[in-house]
Amino acid sequence: MKRFRFYMVIILLAVMQIKGKAQDALSTIEQTIADIFEQYQQEVEEELDFNNFLEDLLFVAENPIDLNRATREELEKLPFLSDIQIENILYYLYQFGPMQTIYEMQLIEGLDMTDIRRMLPFVVVHSRKKENPKLYWHDFLNYGKNDLYIRLDRKLETNRGYLSISPENTSDVSSKPYLGDPFYNSIKYRYHFQDKIYLGFTTEKDPGEPFLDKIQTNYDFLSAYLQLNNIGKFKTIILGDFRANFGQGLVLRQEFSMGKSSYVMNVIPRGSGLKKYSSTDEYNFFRGLGTTLQLGKTEISAFYSNKQIDGDTVQGCFSSIYKTGYHRTSNEFNKKKTVNQQVVGGNLTYYFPHLQIGATVVHTLFNHFLEPEETTYNHFYFSGNQQTTGGINYRFLWKKLNFFGETALSNHFSWATLNGCFFSPFSLLDIVVLYRNYSPDYDMFYANAFSESTRINNEKGMYLGAELRPIKNWKFSAYADSYRFSWVKYRVDAPSFGNDYLLQVDFNPSRMVNMFWRLRYEEKQENLSQDTSIMSFVVPLKKASLRYQLNYAVGNFSFRTVLEGNLAQKSEEANWTYGLTAYQDLSYEFRSFPLRFDFRYQFFDATSYENRVYAYEKDVLYAFSIPMNYGLGSRYYLNLRYKFNHQLSCWLKFAQTVYADGRTTIGSGYELIQGNRKSDIRFLLHYKF
C-alpha cells in the first residue's frame, strides 16, 4: 500500500513539476534568517552574528545531504526542520529503506509542501553509496575550493566622531575622537576540501578604527583556523580560532541557540562539538586547540584556549568584559586586550540506541579579578578570576515522546536546569513543552540556552509550543511562554514576570504564492521611565503586533509585500501608542545577463521606541542587517549582484533612511549625524578558485 502511494505521488509530482532551483538555497536561507532572527533581534540590544549560520547553510547547499545516508547530526544543520520532523525522516528511512527519489519525501509524516520546498536546495537522494577513494596530498591542492571575500563599507554622512572637537583646530587630527577613517574593511579567505579540511583567515577593521598607522600597524582584528575532520579516530582536530557547543547550552554554546520564533517547535540548539570560527565577532570564540575523539559510541572532546580580551582594567581588576570589538577612540583603545583569558574544557557523550547522554566541564581563568560594579541588579554576577562549571545533558526517545534536557552547576553551587519533551500524538499535530529554571547566582560566561533574557540566570519559565496542519496548504503555529524573574534585572527594579504569546497562520496556495499572518502579544514588566520618585517601581509593558506577509513570484521576478502594525502600552494609565510599517520588495535575476537586483521601499511610522519595527534586509554576501526603525520616515535599498564569470562576482548595496519627523540629527554621542538622512554603501568582491 505504501509503495502504491509512493508511485501515485511520483506521478502527481511529475505533473506538478515541483523542482528546486540552485538560487532557491539563498532565498530559503534568507527567509529562515528573517523568520528566526527578526524576532530575536527585538529582544537583544547587541548586533547578532549570523555569519556561521549562513556559512554552514551555504556549505550544505553546495554539498547537499544525501537523505539515504543522512544522520541526525547532518539533518540538524537544516534549522527549519523540527526535531520531530528529523525523527520522522530517520524513522521513514529505517522502516522503508533508501528513497528512490526526492519526491518520496511527500510520504514522510509531518512534512508538508512548505518544508519540502525549503529542503529541496539542501538535500539529494543517491541510490548508491559514494565510494571513498584514497586521498593524496595533491588532491587537496587540485580539488580543494578556495574563496576570497573583500568587503568595503562606509556611511556617506560624517559622524561626529570624525569631526574635530574644537572648530578652530580642524587641522589637528588628534583632536578627532575617532582615531581612524570611516571605512569598514574585511578580508576573508576560506579553503575547504570536501568535509575533511577547512582552512581560513579573517581580517577586519571597523569604521573609525585606526589602520596602517603609528597606533595600529595592521588590521584591528585577525583570526585564523585549521580544522581537520575524520582522521582515524579523530572526528575533529582544530587549531586556531574555534567555537564549542555542547548540550542545551547551559554550560557551553557560543553559537546561536534557538529561542522563541515562528518556528515554534525549534527550541533546542542545533549542532554540537567543536567548530572552526570564521566570523568577525571579536569576543565570542576560543583561540587555541581542540579535538574530538570518536571511540565507538563514545565521543570525547577536549580543548584549550588562551587569548587576550578587552576590559577596563584598573589596578589588577576589571569591572566588565568589553564585547563590542570597537577600538575607535583612545578610551576604547586603552581597553584592548588588557585581560588574559584561559579556558580549558571537555565533553564526553555516549550514544545508546534511544538515549544520548553527555557531560561537559569548563574551567576559566583570568589574570585579573573580575569585579562588577556593585548594583542591585548585578549583585549575583560572577566575580573572581576562576570559574568552573559542569553539566549533564540528555536526550531520550520513548515511544512518541522525545525528552531532552540539561542540568548545570557552577561556582558556589549555583545551578541551572532545562528540561522538555517533544510529542506528536498524530501526524498533523506536534507539541513541545519546555521548563527552565536558572538560579539568580548562576552566571556562566559561555551559556546560551532557551531563555527570555540574553543572560542565562535568574529565570524560571514554562514554554508550550504546537504546530497543527489541519488542512492541505494551511499550517497553524502557536506558542505560549510564561516566565518569572526572582531577582531584579537591568531596568527592572523588582522581581517581575511576563507572558509571551504567538500565533502564526501560514497559507501556501501554490508554489509561487505563500503568505502568513502573525499575531504576537507580550506582557512584561519594566521600570517606569521618567520616574522622579525615590522608590522606583515597575509597571507592565504590553505590546501586541500583527504582521501580514505575502511572497509571490513570476518567472525570474519575486516579490514580497509586508504590512505590520503594533500597539504598546507602558503602565495601565498610559495611552496605547502605535507603530506601523509597510514595505514592498522586488527582486529580479536577468536570464541572459549575470545580474541580480533586490529593491525595497519601506515606510515606517512608529510613535515611540516601544513601537520600533524590524525588517530583515537582503545584503551583500556575509553582511546582515535587520535595521530597527522608529519615528516617521522611509527606507529603501538597492542590492546588486553581478557575476563577471564563474569565478568572480561582486555585490553592491546602497541603503538610505530618510526621517520626516522633523529631526535635524540622527543618533547620539560620536555616532551623531547632522541632518535627517542616513546612508550606507557596501561593496563585496568574491573570488572563487
Partner 1 sequence: MKKHLCLFFVLLSSPFVFSQISYIIPSSSSIANTSVSNTHEWTGFQNPAMLGYSENSEIGLQYENRFLLSQISTSSFQALIATPVVNTDISLSYFGYSLYHEIIGAVGFGRNFSDKFSLGLRFNYYTAYFSASNSYRGILFPHLGFSYRFTLNFSIGCSAFNPFQMNIKTETAEKQIPSVFSMGSEYYFTPELIWLTQLDKEISSNYRIATGFEYQMLKVLSVKIGAYTAGYLVPCLGIGLNFGNFKLDLNAELHPLLGLNSFVALRHSFRK
Which residues lie near partner 1 (CB under 8 A)? Answer: 513, 552, 554-555, 557, 559, 561, 563, 582, 584, 586, 601, 603, 605, 632-634, 636, 656, 658, 660
| Residues in Cβ contact with 614 at an 8 Å cutoff, skipping those fewer than 6 apart | 38, 41, 42, 626, 627, 628, 629
Grid cell of 5 as nine digits? 502511494
Query: Smaller CB distance to partner 1: residue 345 or 633?
Result: 633
Query: Smaller CB distance to partner 1: residue 201 or 603?
Result: 603
Query: C-beta of 97: minimal distance to partner 1 in Å?
Result: 42
Query: C-beta of 558: minimal distance to partner 1 in Å?
Result: 11
Distance (Å, rounded) from C-alpha 639 to C-alpha 633?
20
Query: Smaller CB distance to partner 1: residue 270 or 547?
Result: 547
Burial category of 61 from C-beta neighbours within 10 Å (exposed 0-12, middle 13-18, buried 19 and up): middle
The answer to whether 208 touches 183, Cβ cutoff 8 Å, is no
For every residue of 414-467, DSSP letters joined together read: -EEEEEEEEEEEETTEEEEEEEEEE-TT---TT---S-SSSSSSSEEEEEEEEE
Query: C-beta of 563: minimal distance to partner 1 in Å?
Result: 8
Query: C-beta of 660: minimal distance to partner 1 in Å?
Result: 4
Cβ-based neighbour number of residue 355 at 10 Å? 13
Query: Smaller CB distance to partner 1: residue 200 or 633?
Result: 633
Q: Is 490 helix (H, G, I), strand (E, B) or coil?
A: coil
Query: Smaller CB distance to partner 1: residue 243 or 618?
Result: 618
| Residues in Cβ contact with 668 at an 8 Å cutoff, skipping those fewer than 6 apart | none
Beta strands in 95-231 (DSSP E): 123-124, 145-155, 183-193, 197-205, 221-231
Query: C-beta of 552: minimal distance to partner 1 in Å?
Result: 6
What does the H/E/C string look like for 156-181? CCCEHHHCCCCHHHCCCHHHCCCCCC
Query: C-beta of 587: minimal distance to partner 1 in Å?
Result: 12
Query: Smaller CB distance to partner 1: residue 455 or 677?
Result: 677
What's the distance, CA 271 to chain centroid?
A: 13
Query: Smaller CB distance to partner 1: residue 355 or 586?
Result: 586
Query: C-beta of 671: minimal distance to partner 1 in Å?
Result: 22
Query: C-beta of 667: minimal distance to partner 1 in Å?
Result: 19
| Residues in Cβ contact with 586 at an 8 Å cutoff, skipping those fewer than 6 apart | 557, 558, 559, 598, 599, 600
Query: C-beta of 306: minimal distance to partner 1 in Å?
Result: 51
Query: Smaller CB distance to partner 1: residue 437 or 584?
Result: 584
Q: Is 549 helix (H, G, I), strand (E, B) or coil?
A: strand
Rg (CA), the chain: 26
Grid cell of 159 as nine digits? 559622524
| DSSP-derived pairing of the beta strands 429-438 and 415-426 | antiparallel
What's the distance, CA 84 to chain centroid?
A: 21
Query: Smaller CB distance to partner 1: residue 456 or 562?
Result: 562
Query: Smaller CB distance to partner 1: residue 318 or 637?
Result: 637
Cβ-based neighbour number of residue 110 at 10 Å? 23
Query: C-beta of 601: minimal distance to partner 1 in Å?
Result: 5
Distance (Å, rounded) from C-alpha 485 to C-alpha 376?
14
Distance (Å, rounded) from C-alpha 139 to C-alpha 344?
35
Query: C-beta of 554: minimal distance to partner 1 in Å?
Result: 5
Query: Smaller CB distance to partner 1: residue 434 or 562?
Result: 562
Query: C-beta of 613: minimal distance to partner 1 in Å?
Result: 14
Query: C-beta of 585: minimal distance to partner 1 in Å?
Result: 10
List for the chain the helix, strand, coil content (%; round to 5). 15, 50, 35
Query: Smaller CB distance to partner 1: residue 654 or 683?
Result: 654
Residue 665 one-letter amino acid: T
Q: Cα-flanking dihedrals φ and ψ of residue 158, to 5°?
A: -95, 120
For every residue of 27-74, DSSP letters joined together read: HHHHHHHHHHHHHHHHH-SSPP--HHHHHHHHHHHHS-EEGGG--HHH
Query: Smaller CB distance to partner 1: residue 87 or 564?
Result: 564
